Structure 1
Amino acid sequence: MDTFFLFSCVKNCGKILKFPAPLILILYLVSFPPFSRSDKVMQTVNDITKMPITISSYGPDIARAKKYVYLTGAAYCFDIPAWSCPYCQKAQSLGYDFHAQVYNKLANTLAFIAVNKKLKEIVVTFRGTLNMANVVIDLHHSIVSIDAGSTVLERGKSKDVGGSVMRVHTGFINATNSLYSEIVEKLGKFLQEEDDYEVVLAASVTLFRLKEEIQLPWDFPTPKSYSYFGYGTPRVGNQAYADYWNGQEMQLTRVVNKADFAAHAPSSLAGYVHHGNELWIMPSGEEKVCSKTVYEDEKCANSVASMVNLPEIAQEANTLAFIAIKKLKEIVVSYRGTLNTANLVADIHPSTVSLDTGSSPLKRGKSKGPEIRIHTGMINATNSLYPEVVEKLGKVLKENEDFDVVVIGHSLGAAAAILTLFLLKEEIRLPADFPTPKSYAYFGYGTPRLGNQAYADYWNGQEMQITRVVNKADFCAYTPSALGGYVHNGNELWLTPTGEEKVCSKTVYEDPNCANSIRPLSNVHDHLHYWDVHFLSCAGADPVSTVGQFVINV
């Protein structure tokens, strides 16, 4: 996975994203999949990450980590077998030669094997996220037992001593499976001739399967030892999975650079927790060996979680809205959904914030009682446009005070639309002479969950038009996870798989007989098609410009 970076320069966009159509699967996500309620990991972020533990695995090894990072960088090169890119040359100067490449065209995943004959090391390096197929993997909306789809794990490793099943992110195990059989084949052939080599991997799920001899041929050689080095590693599994690794007497080094946002995702509120020994590259540039007595050291990368970032170009908001006026005396403010890397950054921001943060206190006592909290990335996207929306909307209303204001949007745009409406209704950061419209209304398409129960209660108590449209099994309707405290607000209008429209119950927060009834079928296609509107049709008409929205020059 390792963050949602789309590395390269513009001239390589065609190679990276493989357009033409259906061009960009703009996966709109704000959270990551929850674990089973039966697992013991159902605790708060502090309960899990700060729990005491003794990490038995060796590391972190700073010297080796600084060496393998060049091989990790080489995985992003386009002609790895040539072994001529700058990182390849650096790795070669350290004694590493290219041995074999493994590529899965369908999943668009890649790994390569390098060998250092002097040190007797064979290194298996996996490329991180570099295309939309990888993003699909990153944002897969479910979790799975680690042994799903394979032979039964040996030695009872599918459960920890407390009986909890080891569970991991489905997308990551899918990525692993897409390359695993060929890696086993190539690695096995080498080890049959050189079985006194150490095997170093940059993928913990692959290492797990090798160590537990899952889907290995009976004659697969046992190497001298296994080691793991990961850079920008996300949380992969639950507490039972972390316990497995933390109990291994082997080299496990997890490197985190400053406030790399991947280190804070998926959310620990959904039961995910890191494993292994953290080596933190501090903002000062120094390396810090973190504590081995807790799952995640609060004095290392977690101490700067509020500063999570991508390269500067990805930190630009790159949001858009427009205002239209109808003869029906309606002013419609429409927000665009996710269409670029910066929008993805907003989607996946791993924190929540009080809704009145950064603004004047909420009026009419709305901030009292249970605290209203919402997804940080979505309020950031809203704030990026709010001042200009207020300015332009105010000018129109001064000339048309008897007009209704309808705020609408799709995906991230639906989130920004209703948050804008909240700010307008509560008169937050409005000029003294801002006109009051005849009424406000909201229509959202593919709206994610935005906030906590207090936020939903606010909207559910408003006597106004609030319609939340969900198409079939649009995966966005199920994110962020309700296990993180998120819940939908407003009235659901469900476009059923048969094409009928169903007005859902208004007596529960989310009607189990509407979109939630087919949650296991969640998919991206339903997110991009509402009635006869395809939300990427305009983007597909100009693929070069669209692809350019996802390029980060490094």
Structure 2
Amino acid sequence: MFTLTTILLLSPLPLSVVALPHPDANATRALVPRAVATMSAPQLNAYTPYTQFARAAYCDSSTLKDWSCGKACEANPDFQVNTAGGNGNSIQNYFVGYWPSKNTVVVAHEGTDPTAFESVLTDVKLLQRSLDSTLFPGAPSSVTVHDGFANEHALTATAILAAVKNLLSSHSSAGVVVIGHSLGGALAELDALYLTLNLPSGTKISGVTYGTPRVGNAAWSTYFDSQVTNFTRVNNRDDFIPILPGRSLGYEHVAQEVHILGTDSAIVCPGAEDTTDAQCTTSAVPNIFEGNILDHLGPYQGVWIGTIFCT
């Protein structure tokens, strides 16, 4: 969630045969020429367990540690928590654990809670900065990302990496999937590259995020897409958070988008950020005045995400 001040600060100026995404963390997705395709209801419903993880991340970390956060946790009953932390304010809640039914390690981050002032401040730091070479070894110097997102990511990066390494050691065939909504999606996007650069070559890393703002510049999206080949941003209807910060400020999304148009109706916009197809978010929601902030919360195939929906 974002306050009106945040929205105005981040607002952009108005902007005038593919393989459907597979949410399995052990699958890989080759980048393909852009061509919008319709998704079936079963394909869209396959994302629901991931949506429930994003929803659970908004719950108090004390309930995440023993996976007792109510319906959000009950939706994935076999999940085994390894570590959970954050305070929902200066540090977004997060959790790491093993998901037996998908044989994957899950890393999930909470999004912005508008009642937590420090987390809102994270969103309004608009300046971009180079990636920390200690956290992102080998990343090109031309790659820059949102300063606030990078600072927040650094607070939990090493703890998350240690937990993921521990779980991969115990489950050697497992993949890793990063998940988040809103600010949590931005942190998950950073995690996807961070883990790719810091885990053994061949580790299968994927991501599913919801209502994610843009994270970095064009060099970021190009480099990210070359390193992380199974990543999907799910956007809901007229949610305008995904068009922030504006492209006029030097931001560009990574590939690829699933745009929910309605219940059981969605399209996939693969490849680089689509600025031409009327059904993809960048064109469908050209500015905040044509968007709907309530769509940021859901429903994502019947699932709502946010602090008040965590149980």
TM over 0.5: yes
Deviations 1:259-292 (CA, angstroms, capped at 9, x unpaired): 1121111111111111111101104651111253
Aligned equivalent of 2:72: 87
CA displacement at 1:168 relative to structure 2: 0.6
Aligned equivalent of 2:81: 98
Q: 2:212 aligned with 1:228, yes or no?
A: no
Aligned equivalent of 1:307: 290
Task: State the distance in 1 between where 2:193 and 2:81 align.
Answer: 24
Q: 2:53 aligned with 1:71, yes or no?
A: yes
CA RMSD, 1 decimal: 3.5
Aligned equivalent of 1:30: 8
Task: State the distance in 2 between where 1:113 and 1:263 align.
Answer: 25
Query: Contact 1:110/1:179 (CA < 8 Å) preserved in 2?
Result: no
Query: Contact 1:65/1:253 (CA < 8 Å) preserved in 2?
Result: no
Aligned equivalent of 2:152: 175
Gaps of 5+ in 2: 17-29, 180-187, 298-305
Alignment partner of 2:252 out of 273, 295, 299: 273
Deviates more, 1:113-122 or 1:242-251: 242-251
Q: How many residues align?
A: 264
Task: State the distance in 1 between where 2:228 and 2:258 align.
Answer: 17
Q: 1:166 to 1:174 in 2, by over 3 A?
A: same
Name the SS for the 2:221 alignment partner. helix
Query: Contact 2:112/2:120 (CA < 8 Å) preserved in 1?
Result: yes
Q: 1:44 to 1:151 in 2, by over 3 A?
A: same
Query: Contact 2:231/2:256 (CA < 8 Å) preserved in 1?
Result: yes
Matches within 5 A, 1:118-267: 118-130=101-113, 131-147=116-132, 150=134, 153-154=137-138, 157-159=139-141, 165-202=142-179, 203-213=188-198, 224-248=203-227, 250-267=229-246
Name the SS for the 1:288 alignment partner. strand
Higher RCO by CA contacts (8 Å cutoff, separation 6 or greater): 2
Q: 1:81 to 1:223 in 2, by over 3 A?
A: farther
Name the SS for the 1:245 alignment partner. helix
Task: State the distance in 1 between where 2:88 and 2:164 align.
Answer: 20
CA displacement at 1:89 relative to structure 2: 0.2
Aligned equivalent of 2:21: none
Aligned equivalent of 1:433: none
Task: State the distance in 2 between where 1:44 and 1:55 align.
Answer: 28
Aligned equivalent of 2:96: 113
Structure with higher Rg: it is 1
Query: Contact 2:214/2:251 (CA < 8 Å) preserved in 1?
Result: yes
Task: State the distance in 1 between where 2:156 and 2:83 align.
Answer: 13
Q: 1:57 to 1:144 in 2, by over 3 A?
A: farther
Name the SS for the 2:219 alignment partner. helix
Name the SS for the 1:118 alignment partner. helix
Query: Contact 2:196/2:203 (CA < 8 Å) preserved in 1?
Result: no
**Among the aligned pairs, what percent are the same residue?**
23
In structure 2, give the amino acid aligned to 1:68: Y
Gaps of 5+ in 1: 6-25, 35-42, 47-53, 160-164, 214-219, 315-550
In structure 2, give the amino acid aligned to 1:30: L
Q: 1:88 to 1:297 in 2, by over 3 A?
A: farther
